[in-house]
Amino acid sequence: MKTIDSVVVGGGVGGLAAALFLGRAGRSTSVFDGGQSTILSVDIVREYLGFDGVSPTEMLQKARDEVIRYGVELREELVTDILPLKNGNFEVVYPSGRITTRTVVLATGETYELPNISGIPEKWGRDLKVCPCFDGNEVKDGAFVVFGIPDKLAHMALWVSMWSANVTIVSRHNFNEEESERLNLLGIKIVKDDVAGLDHEGQQLTGVITEKGAQIPCDATWVALASRATSPLAAALCEVDANGFAVADASGATSYPGVYAIGNATQPWDHLAHAAAAGTRVGPIVTNYLLEQKISELRIKKHSQR
């Protein structure tokens, strides 16, 4: 079985940025794209220089076209397992076969844990928003409703107040004294109830419906969510945190030699541009690892011939 230099798991912005560097460095590289890129959950890309206002599919297709030009192989398959080998390489398993690689870059993203509320999945990434930096400008000065997990509610409400003075939290959560003071100073209202559903006129969000039956008009909903690593691959290879995110240093190196993790595979709630930067940063790190590996192999070969 032929051994290639690197397998990148994940075909989002971070993974493709890593592949671009590796391809330009002449490293044999395969990208496995299982269609799970985090950015695909939204309709329009925002706050990414050069691509603001385009669709995620258009942006990713342009990136794919670029990496292909440098000899990178793209496979639209989901990696199911990565097996460390005795010689330090890895066997990557996918539905139609296996491939051996010297290094692995995990760019598998994160998955948000949506609340079990009617209408949420259909509106996820559209009327239901999670990042004011990404979506705030497009709904600024509108009426906002904030709900979700208690430990992130106050932070979310305070942040979205930078885009609108009309913010209402819907939650039975009791905020502590400091949180209450900060929310009150910014005029953020609190309704002691929980969201039971979303209200619409056709495809247009018009408000939320509470468990007590109240209707609260709004132009956008912001939900504070927990998230977890999309793929279990990191947990089988290297140190991960409680939510399955790979623990990596600033270069992307994990606790297992030859395994790297970037973007939302290691850092939840990170910015799209940061994922691209992480991919660009890990490219030379992986290339240098391959260089040192080659030198070590040649040194061993030289000594064995004496």
pLDDT in tens, 117-130: 877 777 776 778 88
Q: Which residues contact 35 (CB under 8 A, 6 or more apart)?
A: 11, 76, 78
Place of tokens 């912005």: 13
Query: For the chain, what is the mean pLDDT?
Result: 94
pLDDT in tens, 76-108: 999 999 999 999 999 999 999 999 999 999 999
β-bridge partners, 215: 209
pLDDT in tens, 181-215: 999 999 999 999 999 998 888 878 899 999 999 99
Q: Is the Cβ–Cβ distance between 44 and 125 less than 8 Å?
A: no
Between CA 170 and CA 191 the distance in angstroms is 5
Q: Is the Cβ–Cβ distance between 102 and 3 less than 8 Å?
A: yes
Spelled out in words, what is the top-level CATH class assigned to the domain 115-224?
Answer: alpha beta
- As a CATH number, domain 3-111+227-304 is 3.50.50.60
Between CA 28 and CA 234 the distance in angstroms is 22
pLDDT in tens, 21-79: 999 999 999 999 998 888 887 889 998 999 999 999 999 999 999 999 999 999 999 99
pLDDT in tens, 263-298: 999 988 778 999 999 999 999 999 999 999 999 999
Query: For residue 78, how many C-alpha atoms fall within 13 Å in the half-sphere facing its CB?
Result: 9
- 3-111+227-304 and 115-224: same fold? yes
Q: Which residues contact 71 (CB under 8 A, 6 or more apart)?
A: 23, 28, 29
Helix-helix angle 150-160:177-185, to 10 degrees: 20
Confidence band for 149, pLDDT divided at 50, 70 and 90: very high
CA 173 to chain centre: 28
The pLDDT of residue 241 is above 90: yes
pLDDT in tens, 51-60: 999 999 999 9
Domain ranges of the chain: 3-111+227-304, 115-224
